[in-house]
Amino acid sequence: MRTYARIQDRQVVELLSTDDDIATLFHPSLRWVDVTDQPGVTVGWLHDGRAATAPVVTAPEALPTIDELRLAFAQLEARLRRLAGE
């Protein structure tokens, strides 16, 4: 059995395992690529035309602390007072 990934906008959007000829199962406008030899491919992976790769996941940006927010608020408040002529 072969595993195929449907590619849309360079991203894997669907997977299908079948013994049938993929070219006969769907409309030719749908792009299916054989990923049988690429274990672990899943929806959301990227496909560059040759191979599928997992998307790069970056660590979320650290949230500011309460003290950092208070300082930013105080600086903004001071700036607004200067602009208002106080």
Query: How many whole angstroms separate alpha carbon 62 and alpha carbon 77?
Result: 24
Residue 21 lies in a domain: yes
Q: What is the mean pLDDT of residues 44-66?
A: 91
Nearest to 14 by CA among 3, 29, 23, 25: 3
Residue 50 lies in a domain: yes
pTM: 0.65
pLDDT tens column, 13-36? 999 999 999 999 999 999 999 999
Residue 72 lies in a domain: no
Residue 64 lies in a domain: no
Residue 18 lies in a domain: yes
Please give the C-alpha separations between residue 76 and each of 20, 70, 79, in angstroms, as whole numbers: 65, 10, 5
Domain assignment of residue 49, given as a range: 1-56
Residue 5 lies in a domain: yes
pLDDT at 61 over 90: no
Domain count, the chain: 1
Residue 67 lies in a domain: no
Residue 63 lies in a domain: no
